[in-house]
Amino acid sequence: MSKVKVLILRAPGTNCDEETAFAFQRSGAETALVHIWQLIRQEKQLKDYQVMVFPGGFTYGDDLGAGRVLANEIRLKLGEDIERFVESGYLILGICNGFQVLVKAGILPGSKIHQEMTLTTNDSSRFECRWVHLTTNTSSKCIFTKDIEFLYLPVAHGEGKVVATVATLEKLDIAIYYTDAKGNRSAGYPYNPNGSMGDIAGICDITGRIFALMPHPERHIVPNQHPRWLEGKAGNQGDGLKIFQNAVDWITKL
C-alpha cells in the first residue's frame, strides 16, 4: 500500500507546519505543505489526501481574533470541499490555532459549517507558554487518542479558553482534559493554563475523525524535547508521537 498522504495547510502566520510534517513523516506518512490559496485556486486537490491538518501559529496575525480570518476563508471558499472530505471518511487534525480555526469555521464540534462554541482570551490575560499534564477521556470516540492515557505537552497561546453553552458542553465529545501530574481534574491554574470550561484541552466530532487540541503534540516527538530529559524523565519517545501514529495507522487499515 502507498504511504498515507497528509496535507498540512499553510496560511500567512502559520509557524508549526514543519514540526507537524516531521511528526507525520516519523509516523510513516508522506506530507505536503500546502498554502490555502493553492487549494482555493485548485492547484492542489484536497481529495488527493487522507489527512488534513490545521497546524499551530498565528494565521493572519490573529488580527480579528485567533484563527478568525482563516476560519472565514475556510467556511466561504473551501467549505464544500471539506464537507466532501469528511464524508469520504478521512481525518482532520487541528492544533492550537488549528483548534481555533476549526471551531470558528463551524467544523467542530459538528461537521456542519455553523459555530457552536469559541476559544477566547486566557483567564490570566496573558500568553501562556508552559508544559501541561493531560488525561484522555477513555469514553471518547477520538481516533487520535486511542490507547493513550496521559500526555505531557507544551502549550503556547493567548486565546485558549474553551467557552460554550451548557447545552453544547453536554453534547461535546471531550477527548483530553487539563489535569495535574496525578491526573486530577479541576486542579485550577496553572494546570488548566487558560481557564477552559470543564478543563477541556481537546475535542472531537461525533465520528472521532475530526480532532483538535490546544497543546502542541508536534513539539514533543523525540525524548530530548522533554524539558527534563537530562534528568531521565523522558520516555523512549515523545508523548505527542502516538497521536500522529494513531492517525496514520487508522488510515492504513481503511
- pLDDT for position 1: 57
What dihedral angle (degrees, nearest 10) is formed by the CA atoms of 146, 152, 156, 157?
60
Regions of the chain short of the pLDDT cut 50: none
Residue 227 neighbours by CB distance under 10 Å: 13
- Three-state DSSP state, 51: strand
Cα–Cα distance, 108 to 104 (Å, whole number): 8
Report yes or no: 194 and 148 within 8 Å, Cβ to Cβ. Answer: no
Q: Please give the grid coordinates belonging to residue 210.
A: 475530526
Which of the 8 DSSP states describes residue 11?
-
Distance between start and end Cα atoms, the chain = 11
* CATH number of the domain that residue 67 is part of: 3.40.50.880
* Active site residues per annotation: 96, 216, 218
Q: Which residue has the cell 493531560?
A: 134
Dmax (CA) for the chain in angstroms is 50
Phi then psi dihedrals of residue 224, to 5 deg: -80, 5
- pLDDT for position 112: 61
Number of domains in the chain: 1
Report yes or no: 51 and 90 within 8 Å, Cβ to Cβ. Answer: yes
- pLDDT for position 246: 98
Cα–Cα distance, 13 to 169 (Å, whole number): 30
- pLDDT for position 115: 76
Cα–Cα distance, 112 to 106 (Å, whole number): 6
Domain residues for the domain of 173 are: 5-252
Which of the 8 DSSP states describes residue 157?
E
